[in-house]
Amino acid sequence: MNDITFKINGQEITVPEGTTILEAARMKNIDIPTLCYLKGINEIGACRMCLVEIAGARALQAACVYPVANGIEVLTNSPKVQNARKVNLSLILSDHNRECTTCVRSENCELQALAKELDVEDIPYQGAKSGVTIDDMSTSIVRDETKCILCKRCQSVCNQVQGVGVLGAVGRGFNSQVQPVFGRSLAEVGCINCGQCIINCPVGALKEKSNIQDVWDAINDPTKTVIVETAPAVRAALGEEFGNKMGEPCTGKMAAALRRLGFDKVFDTDFGADVTIMEEGYELLGRLQNGGVLPMITSCSPGWIKFVETYYPEFIPNLSSCKSPQNMTGALLKSHYAQMNNIDPKDMVVVSVMPCTAKKYEVQREELAVDGNQDVDISITTRELARMIKSARIMYNNLPDEDFDAYYGDSTGAAVIFGATGGVMEAAVRTLADVLNKKRHPGN
Amino acid sequence: MAYKRSQILICGGTGCTSSGSVKLVQELKKELVKHDILDEIEVIQTGCFGLCELGPVVIVYPEGTFYSRVAVEDIAEMVEEHLVKGRVLDRLVYSEKGDGHHPLSINELGFFKKQRRIALANCGVINPENIDEYIGFDGYLALEKVLKTMTPQEVIDEVKASGLRGRGGGGFPTGLKWQFAHNAVSPDGIKYVACNADEGDPGAFMDRSVLEGDPHAVIEAMAIAGYAVGAGKGYVYVRAEYPIAVHRLQIAIDQAKEYGILGENIFGTDFAFDLEIRLGAGAFVCGEETALMNSIEGKRGEPRPRPPFPANKGLFERPTVLNNVETYANIPKIMLNGGAWFASVGTEKSKGTKVFALGGKINNTGLLEIPMGTTLREIIYEIGGGIPNGKEFKAAQTGGPSGGCLPASALDTEIDYDNLIAAGSMMGSGGLIVMDEDNCMVDIAHFFLEFTQDESCGKCPPCRIGTKRMLEILEDICGGRGKEGDIERLQELAEGIKASALCGLGQTAPNPVLATIKFFRDEYEAHINEKKCPAGVCKALLDFAIDEEKCKGCGICAKKCPVDAISGEKKKPHVIDTAKCIKCGTCIEACPFGAITKA
């Protein structure tokens, strides 16, 4: 591949052919703002925030998609660029629901950050707003058109990465929206509730369906025993919400906070994960020995399960019949634990804290219940837990480290590797190896 | 071939078809049978003659008698008089000056005198549904010449020498475009030729007329382009709202295939070329080249960023040549007569001719083709026959929603790509709308912006939101809510949108507003500052009143008023209740004494 030499803000720079202006600029520590750009996923040059001036070109060009060429002279901060960016950002803001104070993405919003960074103090353009629909019918995802800026990141992730494709552009001009087909709700189309759209939304147009109030209601009901189980990922992510280093484990503070929120018992989903591994390992063994359907595919992810059910039903027999760790834990709590502790399962509320919005969908699946009593009653995300801790004014960072409650808080290393790609099956196979070799694998 | 003593040409373009020309053909044949002369006379339904204002148009050869506004009821008499007795039926012959002077042939008409027909050469001359007629007029001779005697590079060089520039509006040199696609390397050797027939400017029907009147010219040109760039497959992207054009093009493609002009081993050479029609679903933005390609590929009609340009990565990511209908229609003539011949017509930087669809406040509404360099004055006053009802010319709008307007001071502009841009407008695809003193220029700007706003694909904020904000300001100005600073806000937004929109539609959408501000700023100011619409168009700014001195108290206005807003005693001056008045103008039309004013 050839090298390309060109100038950016007067600096000469040589980069490989095919590099975009945006990439080249960032190599030179020159930042260019973006909103719609997602490398490799959404390179559509739509939002026009990354416009740069190229000497001799008629109009400004989108740096995110413009491949560098020999001899071009790029200006990333000329008066023309500054003005166009400001007009453009003002226009986006003029069609955006700017109730930032009550927005879940406030202080974590790319649009809000850009408005600050580009020094937009007032918005000279006012007028009609395009989006009106707030779709909150899904168990997992709330889609708020009043905040959507049509960057189409959600659409690209849903289509190209997840292979689901329930979001797409409809309508024209000012009435354009990114919606499910025929204006339906996400609950009525083949959405698998995976939440990747939420992760990639730069603003608050997509968010998880909040179940915080349901949890408070349960905690505040004196007749209920409220038990919380937390997935392994939560202890690695929660600290970030309180300004701590990304990925730093905080199991002790998390358990302490959960107890202070008023949960009667604080358990670990890893317990259920261990049970899942044993079940799944034996199921695989059974399939291998009895000519069952192979390959066997794990069943821990409710998004994946719905994806198979909706788009590839021919592979349903390949799915493990095991419940996910979330529901394995819930089912054991409402049967074994309830029996041991003399609690009527109907008076028990199991809350799970999960890193995935599809878990909200899973907990209400009717086959995951006994006598109309769901294995897990409420599922909240790590973000929701953080919001609960904050609103309860718990000084999280000053909390002592505490342990999970006994028995259902215990687990092995097999459960911990669940979160990694291929981890579930590795854990199952390791367990199976122990069973067949009749000795313990050093890692287990 | 049987000898015919007379040929009757009936216009079968969309305009004349909608004014009943199909029925004329049926009636004519019926009458010919009645007189037992059907064998002697040939009835031919052609494409557009151009003088749509006078349709349905019938021309009888060999005399070339030009009958206009022919009705079904006229046919019996026409056959009896002209074809049986040999006497021209005077009452139906078009008399240009209304002085009874009947031109012997259409070439005598002022409408045709200054025209030069290259792209439209066969329109209104041949039966577009008969490939033999096209061949009879040298059709497919150019393709044969190209395939048998020229290399692809020689073809491109000839196009370059002709100076032909894209007739869709951009004006990009066609030869250069072909050269890029010729030079581009395709990963699997596949390249494409595409034709943009997604004509969508309000009032424009140049491309429709070419496809309706001479579809084989486009097929022949696309095959030539295919040979030049190394493509074996072509797509014609045409709007579904053009049913006659689509129908005739399909017939032409089928006939060309039957004759071996499309398919394998064309004219006994190794060259193979196939054509397919793709129907557009009515989105204006699909006339933008990258959106058009997305649409052909079955995706949402949204522009994609350039580069990569279509010549390198176009349809299905392969090198693609895309030209518009009129551009292609010139190609066979250039190949037959040489690039130098074409370049001898026109101005220094704009060669050849340009087809315009002339409409609005003009006597001769229709389709015309003029050599580049013809002045706007010649088009409007000589070809167009001037403004109806003795009204004053105010402006001519060119370039459709992407263009601008030219005021009276620009009447002597010699029309070509560069002069029109210098004058504050643009060539565009060829829509030319004439406005007189009764047109409000703010209202015109509003009209075009409403159009682009509606047709924006919604992909980028400057176009999606910016044009909406501009439209809202214009709505305020026209609605009497204009405020100081609105003009400046419009200009600032316009410049921002022009600089930052993703595609040509957005980048040019503010042009009608900028042009009208430039030339008619006083009208904007009257709307904003005095809350008046000088042309009397913007209803919110009008007050209807009855002149006491002129009013005779006849009561006709009161009777006609649909909302009972007018009252008064008989034989005494009446008054209008402005609170009730809906400003419909019925009273003005009804008053026999011209006593009602709006201002």
- Across the interface, do B307 and A48 touch by the CB < 8 Å criterion? no
Exposure string for B359-368, b = 16+ CB within 10 A, e = fewer:
bbbbbbbbbb
* Chain A residues touching chain B at CB-CB below 8 Å: 44-48, 51, 59-60, 62, 65-67, 80, 83-84, 87-88, 91-92, 94-95, 124-125, 127-128, 130, 149-150, 168-169, 171-176
**B309: buried, middle or exposed (CB in 10 Å: 19+, 13-18, 0-12)?**
middle
Which chain A residue shows the shortest CA-CA distance from B493?
A: A87
Residue B1 pLDDT grade (very low, low, confident, very high; cuts 50, 70, 90): low
Which chain A residue shows the shortest CA-CA distance from B462?
A: A88
Give the H/E segment covering residue B119: none
Note whether B481 contacts A: Cβ–Cβ < 8 A: no
Backbone angles phi, psi at B277, to 5 degrees: -95, 135
pLDDT of residue A29: 94
pLDDT in tens, A303-346: 999 999 999 999 999 999 999 999 999 999 999 999 999 999 99
- Residues with Cβ within 8 Å of B454's Cβ and at least 6 positions away in sequence, in order, are A172, A173
Which tokens in the block code for residue A402? 């505490």
Q: Chain B partners of A123 at a C-beta cutoff of 8 Å?
A: none
Radius of gyration of chain B (CA): 27
Question: How many C-beta atoms surround the C-beta of residue A134 within 10 A?
Answer: 14
Note whether B496 contacts A: Cβ–Cβ < 8 A: yes
Q: In whole angstroms, give the CA distance from residue B553 to residue B124.
A: 55
Residue B101 pLDDT grade (very low, low, confident, very high; cuts 50, 70, 90): confident
Which chain B residue shows the shortest CA-CA distance from A65?
A: B305
Q: Chain B partners of A130 at a C-beta cutoff of 8 Å?
A: 465
Q: What is the DSSP letter of A264?
A: S
Instruction: Please name the amino acid found at residue B72.
Output: V
pLDDT of residue B100: 67
Please answer whether residues A193 and A361 qualify as being in contact, where contact means their C-beta atoms are separated by less than 8 angstroms.
yes
- Across the interface, do B454 and A173 touch by the CB < 8 Å criterion? yes
Q: Chain A partners of B459 at a C-beta cutoff of 8 Å?
A: 44, 46, 150, 169, 176
- Across the interface, do B489 and A124 touch by the CB < 8 Å criterion? yes
pLDDT in tens, B411-426: 999 999 999 999 888 9
Residue B3 pLDDT grade (very low, low, confident, very high; cuts 50, 70, 90): confident
pLDDT at A70 over 70: yes
Residues A24-30 have a mean pLDDT of: 95
Pick from B397, B468, B474, B456: which is nearest to B431 by CA?
B397
Mean predicted lDDT score pLDDT of chain B: 94
Residues B156-171 have a mean pLDDT of: 95
- Across the interface, do A173 and B472 touch by the CB < 8 Å criterion? no
- Residues with Cβ within 8 Å of A357's Cβ and at least 6 positions away in sequence, in order, are A140, A141, A193, A194, A195, A198, A208, A209, A381
To the nearest whole angstrom, how far is the Cα of A87 from the nearest Cα of chain B? Answer: 6
Pick from B50, B371, B8, B352: which is nearest to B210 by CA?
B50
Q: In whole angstroms, give the CA distance from residue B58 to residue B94.
A: 11
Q: In whole angstroms, give the CA distance from residue A189 to residue B362.
A: 54
- Across the interface, do A169 and B458 touch by the CB < 8 Å criterion? yes
User: Nearest by CB to A88, which of B305, B500, B507?
Assistant: B500
Q: Chain B partners of A87 at a C-beta cutoff of 8 Å?
A: 462, 466, 492-493, 496-497, 500
Pick from B327, B318, B264: which is nearest to B296 by CA?
B318
Q: Chain B partners of A62 at a C-beta cutoff of 8 Å?
A: 305, 502
Instruction: Please name the amino acid found at residue B4.
Output: K
Residues A51-78 have a mean pLDDT of: 95
Note whether B179 contacts A: Cβ–Cβ < 8 A: no
- DSSP-assigned letters across all residues of B423-445: TTS--TTSEEEEEETT--HHHHH
Q: Chain B partners of A125 at a C-beta cutoff of 8 Å?
A: 465, 469, 489, 493
Q: Chain A partners of B472 at a C-beta cutoff of 8 Å?
A: 127-128
pLDDT in tens, A99-135: 999 999 999 999 999 999 999 989 999 999 999 999 9
Exposure string for A315-353, b = 16+ CB within 10 A, e = fewer:
eeebbbebbbbbbbbbbbbbeebbeeeebebeebbbbbb
To the nearest whole angstrom, how far is the Cα of A119 from the nearest Cα of chain B? Answer: 17
Please answer whether residues A319 and A347 qualify as being in contact, where contact means their C-beta atoms are separated by less than 8 angstroms.
no
pLDDT at B98 over 80: no
Residues B325-329 have a mean pLDDT of: 98
Residues B290-299 have a mean pLDDT of: 96
To the nearest whole angstrom, how far is the Cα of B290 from the nearest Cα of chain A? Answer: 13
pLDDT of residue B104: 63
- Across the interface, do A83 and B496 touch by the CB < 8 Å criterion? yes
pLDDT of residue A426: 84
Please answer whether residues B179 and B160 qualify as being in contact, where contact means their C-beta atoms are separated by less than 8 angstroms.
yes
User: Nearest by CB to B468, which of A45, A51, A127?
Assistant: A127
- Across the interface, do B457 and A128 touch by the CB < 8 Å criterion? no
Note whether B461 contacts A: Cβ–Cβ < 8 A: yes
> Which residue's structure tokens are 């002597």?
B412
pLDDT in tens, B102-152: 766 777 788 888 999 999 999 999 999 999 999 999 999 999 999 999 999
Which chain B residue shows the shortest CA-CA distance from A94?
A: B465
Q: Which of A37, A86, A123, A125 to mutate to test the interface with B (most CBs of B within 10 A)?
A: A125
Q: In whole angstroms, give the CA distance from residue A107 to residue A81.
A: 26
- Across the interface, do A44 and B300 touch by the CB < 8 Å criterion? no
Output the CA torsion B449→B455→B460→B461 (10° steps): 40
Residues B27-50 have a mean pLDDT of: 93
Helix (H, G, I), strand (E, B) or coil at A270: helix
Q: In whole angstroms, give the CA distance from residue A144 to residue A167.
A: 13
Q: In whole angstroms, give the CA distance from residue B55 to residue B268.
A: 43
Which tokens in the block code for residue B175? 């030869």
**B270: buried, middle or exposed (CB in 10 Å: 19+, 13-18, 0-12)?**
exposed
pLDDT in tens, A391-406: 999 999 999 999 999 8
Q: In whole angstroms, give the CA distance from residue A218 to residue A352.
A: 13
Q: Chain A partners of B461 at a C-beta cutoff of 8 Å?
A: 47-48, 88, 91-92, 95, 149-150
Which chain B residue shows the shortest CA-CA distance from A58?
A: B499
Note whether B469 contacts A: Cβ–Cβ < 8 A: yes
Please answer whether residues B311 and B321 qualify as being in contact, where contact means their C-beta atoms are separated by less than 8 angstroms.
yes
ipTM confidence: 0.91
pLDDT of residue B118: 96
Mark which residues 184-203 of B lie under 8 Å from A by CB: none
pLDDT at A92 over 70: yes
Where do the H-state alpha helices sit in B63-165? 75-78, 110-113, 131-136, 141-149, 152-162
| pTM higher than 0.90 | yes
pLDDT of residue B59: 92
Output the CA torsion B127→B131→B136→B139 (10° steps): 110
pLDDT at B576 over 90: yes
Where do the H-state alpha helices sit in B164-276? 174-183, 206-213, 215-229, 243-258
Mean predicted lDDT score pLDDT of chain A: 94
pLDDT of residue A443: 58
pLDDT at A441 over 70: no
User: Nearest by CB to A127, which of B305, B469, B500?
Assistant: B469
Pick from B153, B293, B128, B154: which is nearest to B218 by CA?
B128
Pick from A164, A183, A167: which is nearest to A175 by CA?
A183
Note whether B470 contacts A: Cβ–Cβ < 8 A: no
Which tokens in the block code for residue A30? 């020159």
To the nearest whole angstrom, how far is the Cα of B506 from the nearest Cα of chain A? Answer: 11
Helix (H, G, I), strand (E, B) or coil at A284: helix
**What length is written for chain B?**
599
Mark which residues 235-294 of B lie under 8 Å from A by CB: 283, 285
Q: Tell me what percent of the residues of chain B surpass a pLDDT of 70.
A: 99
pLDDT of residue A412: 74
Which tokens in the block code for residue B348? 């220094």
Strands (E), A69-217: 73-75, 134-135, 141-144, 168-170, 177-179, 206-208
> Which residue's structure tokens are 């004196």?
A222
Q: Chain A partners of B458 at a C-beta cutoff of 8 Å?
A: 150, 169, 171-176
pLDDT at A416 over 80: no
Residue A205 pLDDT grade (very low, low, confident, very high; cuts 50, 70, 90): very high
